[in-house]
Every structure is written in structure tokens, then in C-alpha cells.
Amino acid sequence: MNARRLAAAFLAIGFAFVSYVAIAVEPDMGFTTPADFLDPTKVATGYHSGVWRLENFVYLAFPVALWILALPMEERLQRWSGALAGMFFLMVGAIDRVGTQLPSLLSDDASIQASVAALLPIRFALLKCVV
């Protein structure tokens, strides 16, 4: 199987996994409305869950798959759109990595929640740019 087919398959499986988490897992974690994803208390708790850690690695791998698909394209707009989407996903994954590490960097819950509250609008904006 060539790299482009593997990248496309990874994107399909990755987006299916992210959708599964949103539909089946996150409601049980207390995420029932879009506003819940901007609640630093809920998100800080979510960063500790194994499913969000796995989802973070998916977000970190999306750029590689997008770049494999987009960079060889002859159409300049498609090439740059795919490359830029990959950069946005890389930034989302980096923000999530920071979020998962906050408990080891900060000593109290108030500081962790304040840091998460500062990260969330940036993460949300990046995801809106990708979609």
C-alpha cells in the first residue's frame, strides 16, 4: 500500500475515532452541550482521561497524513490548504499535550483551570479554521 493510501485510510479512521469519542464517550464525561467544551473544570478533568490522551495522538498524527496527501498535489490551492490544515491540527495537538501536562507543571487546581481557560479559546479557534 502506498503512502498516500495509508494517509487517507488513517484520516478516515482517525476522524471516525474522533467522532465516536464525541458521540459515545464525551456525553458520559459530562460534555452534553458545546459550552461544556469551554468549561475549564470539565476540560481539565477530560485531559486526564485515557481516551483524550489517545485522541491527542490522533490530532498529532493528522498533520503527517495531510501533508502526505497535500504536498504532492499540482493544484497550488489544494497543496497550501492541506499544508495549512496540517499546521492547525499540529497546533491543536500541541495545545492538548500542554493541557495533559498541566497537573505536573502547576501545583493547585485553580492555576490549572486558569491555564486551561486561557488555552481553550485558542484551541477552539484553530479547530474552527480547520473545519
In this predicted structure, the answer to whether residue 76 has a pLDDT above a threshold of 70 is yes
Tell me the C-alpha distance between 96 and 54, whole Å: 11
Place of cell 485553580: 110
Q: pLDDT tens digits for 15-33?
A: 999 999 999 999 999 999 9
Of 44-48, 59-63, 65-69, the poorest mean pLDDT is in 44-48
> Would you give the distance in Å from CA 42 to the centre of its chain?
16
Supply the pLDDT for residue 1.
66
pLDDT of residue 91: 96
Would you state the pLDDT for residue 104?
A: 85
Angle, helices 109-130/76-105, rounded to nearest 10 degrees: 170
Rounded to whole angstroms, the Cα distance separating 47 from 96 reads: 8
Residue 130 has pLDDT above 90, yes or no: no
pLDDT for the residue numbered 89: 95
CA distance 114 to 122: 14
Note the pLDDT tens digit of each residue in 33-45.
989 999 999 999 8
pLDDT of residue 12: 97
Instruction: Give mean pLDDT, residues 93-118.
Output: 91
Mean pLDDT of the chain: 93
Of 51, 61, 40, 18, nearest to 119 by C-alpha is 40
pLDDT score for 95: 95
